[in-house]
Amino acid sequence: MKSRTILISITSLSLLLSGCSSIPNPFEKKDQTEGQPSEQPSGQKEEDELEPEQDQNDQNTDEEKEADKGPVLPSPEETVTVNADGEKIVTNVMDPLVLVNKERNLPADFIPETLTVPEIPFTFEEDHPKKQMQEVAAEAIEEMFAQAETDGIPLLAQSGYRSYSTQKSIFASNAEKNGHEEANKYSAQAGQSEHQTGLTMDVTSPEVDFGLIEEFGETTAGKWVKDNAHKYGFIVRYPKGKEEITGYQYEPWHLRYVGKEHAKAIYEQNLTLEEYLGAPVEPVNSTE
């Protein structure tokens, strides 16, 4: 009987211990629960850290889109005013992109600021106002002439700044000699000359006996100028085949400073300054 009691006790104890193994461990469950919330803050932190980088990427994208639009150009319509005589007078006179032509005049009393004489070779020795250019253009042409000399190009300067009164006398002389209509094809009337801006220089070479003639474009110097002037901020202002747009005959010697960025774009797209700025023009001086 005693043995039977002991056997029953042992059996009961075995069953009890066996049943306890299937009961969930409260401590294990607690550990798992505590581990779960730590994952979400960790993940949120990573997202927060990515947000500044994403913002930077968005900003870069916006800047790239703005760059794709190209440089901001002055509006032709917003840079003129009409005087009592109905003439269009340009207002952005000191802008390197100022557009002066047969339809857009400079004020009669306009004299560019910062006029200076560039240290480049001229076709004459004496002091003369036509040696002058605006300082920004003078520095650029000094750089261009230095490279021309390095490349062995025989290049000399002929005529830069001209006042309103000087241009008036020049046109009157040409009109008297060749007639008003003919003179208007190659000579600007007072107020319509780029030389008054101080951003222009006529260049030549001994290959054409220092003349300002179309043949200059076929010389070593003329070809070098056409292919390299834009690198220094200059354009050939009156190119061949664009006479109806510019209003003037082909002038391979007439260099106009507009700045390197704009000169590069104008050169690569084979544009005139009128076309580049989107200025409306009436066809003039037809070559047909």
Residues carrying an active site annotation = 251
Does residue 198 come out as left (phi exceeding 0), alpha (psi in the -120 to 50 range) or beta? left
Length of the chain: 288
Helix (H, G, I), strand (E, B) or coil at 122: strand
Per the CB < 8 A criterion, the answer to whether 221 and 155 are in contact is yes
From 246, 280, 269, select the one nearest 70 (Cα to Cα): 269
Per the CB < 8 A criterion, the answer to whether 66 and 58 are in contact is no
Instruction: Pull the structure tokens for residue 50.
Output: 């990515």
Instruction: Pull the structure tokens for residue 116.
Output: 């200076």
Helix (H, G, I), strand (E, B) or coil at 175: helix
In sequence order, the β-bridge partners of residue 271 are none
Helix (H, G, I), strand (E, B) or coil at 66: helix
Mutual angle of helices 220-228 and 135-150, in 10-degree steps? 130
